[in-house]
Chain A
Amino acid sequence: MPSVGSHPGTPAGIEIRGWGWRHASRKAWALADVDLVIDPGERVLLLGASGSGKSTLLHGIAGVLGGDEEGEATGTLLVGGAPPTSARGRVGLVLQDPDSQVILARVGDDVAFGCENLGVPRDEIWPRVGEALDAVGLDVPLDRPTKALSGGQKQRLALAGALAMRPGALLLDEPTANLDPDGVADVRDAVGRVLDATGATLVVVEHHVDVWLPLVTRVVVIAGGRVVADGAPDVVLGAHGAALAAEGVWVPGIAPAVPGPPRIAPGEVLLEAAGLAVSRVRGESVASGLTLDVRAGEALAVTGPNGAGKSTLGLTLAGLLRPAGGTVAASAALADGAASAPIAWTSKQLLTRIGTVFQEPEHQLLTRSVREELEVGPRALGLPQAQTHARVDELLERLRLSALARANPYTLSGGEKRRLTVAAALATAPRVLVLDEPTFGQDARTWAELVALLARLRDDGNALVVITHDARVVSALHARTFALTGARS
């Protein structure tokens, strides 16, 4: 058994005194002089703006910040009385991205992985695996391929994998940021059940306060690398709620500003789909029999559960995927001399007609600076230099990217990357804009900015197709909804 300061399985306290951390590549300390004592069994919500250091603190408690080559630490940080790196298994960590946490190909093997590493005897591993899967409510056979699970199921799998190690503390780093509303509730409820059963300590980092408020007993606010508020949830949120909301935290009762209703009525039909079947891989259509139209001056929201084919439909409407059946036809006004089917257009013809913003910004980044990124489209169109510059300057200004014009796109924050990819699509002024989950994982501030921008585009007579499971976006944009029901739930 691993050497631990307190017994495995019993709730572990966390003791942080004068602790700080500096990434090897940075001059400034990400965290400095953090003092925080969490008693065994306490349930703490860790809040802070993007870049405040809250994730770093969580990773420090989990002991996964890496060795001396990764950075430098000061002060003391103990979990159950021992440094976290020498007490593996005392804490269980669940991260944000469901896909990067699945380790093995089969559900049972994946849950067993942590136990194996801790040297748990084989006879004891499988009962633990069964218990952990029961606790998180993941009722699938042990040999179910992990790649067949939905996002919410993958997160519960990660939770089960942590749980099977019988940790004294659970650490969650935005575990529900990438999930649809059903997935969010499933994961939160699973965590609640686990805590009630084990009494484990909980530390959760999350932008969406309302998700975890029913579960937590204490709220800690980190700003500028320090603890700035600490106490009962209602007290801390009462005193700091407004400031946190201004920093982008989703505070219950403080809704971000939303734009007004559309200033123009929906205009002409620009795109029309009839009897459409969509597929990403040839021969495997994910949705069929779809009939819908996209109108100028209107936002169309494509909603539905994970796996229903929302993104595939969006990419097909955008002229990027060939319909598996039926047709997508552009109106004469949109086609403007090109063929009627968008998939038959050249890449250059698409630019001024239909723009697409991908869910993963990294998939569409092409250059080494923000400015060059915005110049890609106008260059492909062959616009004169002066006009390109004017357009790019205007977009940099409008999307608050001017200060970042020379930065490498890969180094931007999530919110900045999202603004950049939207701006890059707008650089060629397409009539139709297709956006795949534009508000996914965004903080409240970026959310409000994006929604305001989209409302303006709509009012300028452009057509928007927004693929989303964010009900707030749908209502804020006064969008017409096209709901995909989905074959699986």
Chain B
Amino acid sequence: MTLLDSRARTGVVARINPVAKLLASALIALPLILTLDTVSAAVALALECVLFLFAGLTWREFWLRTWPVWIAAPLTALTILLYGEVSGEIYLDWFVVRVSDGSIALAAATFLRVLAVALPSVVLFVTVDPTDLADGLAQVLHLPARFVLGALAGLRMVGLFLDDWRALELARRARGVADRGRVRRFVGMAFALLVLSIRRGSKLATAMEARGFGAATTRTWARASRFGWREWVLVGVGAAISAVAVAAAVWAGTWNFILGPR
């Protein structure tokens, strides 16, 4: 629950504007999504590892935050290995499973790609405070304040939903209906949670309106969201990782544009 954890963090990267982190992640991800080759992903991943050293995370934290990625990447690769497009020599052919030269290469590329795209996003966003992100989205990217602040206030209510969910579970046990019908009970609880959240939401909207939210006046911002040289450096690092990865793939002759002619 990265975004719900409002703990203050220290470190070089933690102080950087979240918008820059968003842009850097996007710049790294974009070319890797557009090509399917081992070289670009491997180069990007290697360069990212240098970036991670400055992210202000302890090793323990790094593994704690990124473990789902380490599970998802090999699983995705395995699927491609067994069912991916067949080419070259076939090593295993059983029912719909075919492991070939082609599927091995694709699986390796996929494994590295998932890591190279997901790890920097996770690592950069661990240090993002939702309030700072909202400030950045509204002040730097000039997204509508009404939308950004509404989402921010709504996000804060997710914690209350977790408490509600627990209470709903206990109440069903107390009412004598928790022994059977798990699916039906789940649907009922989901509906009850929806009703509760709509009620809470409308009360929150009233409280926000009473504090002048949505007034005709131009809104000011109590916290300045700055986009200075640190931010440009991070965006530059993202662009550089991208450029080096693409250049390496083109130089090695493995660049494989998924939208291009085959």
Contact = CB atoms under 8 A, between A and B. Distances in A.
Bind each other: yes
A165 B175 contact: no
A478 interface: no
B168 A363 contact: yes
Interface stretch (B111-119, B217-225, B240-248): B217-225
B175 A348 contact: no
A156 to B, nearest CB: 15
A108 B223 CA distance: 10
B45 to A, nearest CB: 34
A315 B170 CA distance: 8
B167 A113 contact: no
Interface in A413-442: 424-425, 428
Contacts of B176: 347-348, 350-351, 376-377, 380-381, 428
Contacts of B177: 347, 366, 376, 380
A125 B222 contact: yes
Given A1-B217, A122-B224, A347-B173, A104 B167 contact: no
Contacts of B203: 95, 97, 100-101
Contacts of B215: 2, 88-89, 117-119
Q: How large is the interface on A (under 10, 10 to 19, 20 to 34, 35 or more residues)?
A: 35 or more
B210 A62 contact: yes
Contacts of A63: 209-210
B204 A119 contact: no
B203 to A, nearest CB: 4
Interface in B151-188: 152-153, 156, 159-160, 164, 166-168, 170-179, 188
B175 A119 contact: no
Contacts of A205: none
Contacts of A162: 210-211
A116 B219 contact: yes
A362 B199 CA distance: 11
A103 B204 contact: yes
A381 B179 CA distance: 12
In this complex, the member of A108, A113, A425 whose beta carbon has the largest number of chain B beta carbons within 10 angstroms is: A113
Contacts of B196: 362-363
B174 A350 contact: yes
Contacts of B160: 99
Interface in A269-302: 280
A98 to B, nearest CB: 11
Interface in B195-243: 195-196, 199-200, 203-204, 206-224
Contacts of A380: 175-177
Nearest to A104: B131
A313 B217 CA distance: 49
Interface stretch (A43-51, A196-204, A352-360, A388-396): A352-360
A399 interface: no
Contact of B220 (A116, A381, A410): A116
B8 interface: yes
Contact of A116 (B130, B174, B221): B221
Contacts of A95: 203, 206-207, 210
A410 B195 CA distance: 9
A377 B152 contact: no
Nearest to B160: A99
A113 to B, nearest CB: 6
A143 interface: yes
B10 interface: no
A93 B210 CA distance: 6
Interface of B: 6, 8, 129-131, 152-153, 156, 159-160, 164, 166-168, 170-179, 188, 192, 195-196, 199-200, 203-204, 206-224
21 contacts: A2-B216, A63-B210, A88-B212, A95-B206, A95-B207, A95-B210, A103-B204, A105-B6, A116-B220, A117-B219, A122-B224, A147-B156, A165-B211, A315-B170, A320-B173, A347-B179, A356-B174, A363-B164, A366-B177, A376-B175, A377-B176
Interface of A: 1-2, 59, 62-64, 88-89, 91-93, 95, 97, 99-106, 108-109, 112-122, 125-126, 129, 143, 145-147, 158, 161-162, 165, 280, 315, 318, 320-321, 346-348, 350-351, 355-356, 358, 360, 362-366, 376-377, 380-381, 410, 424-425, 428
Given A2-B215, A115-B220, A165-B212, 8 more contacts: A105-B131, A112-B222, A117-B219, A143-B8, A348-B176, A356-B170, A364-B171, A366-B177
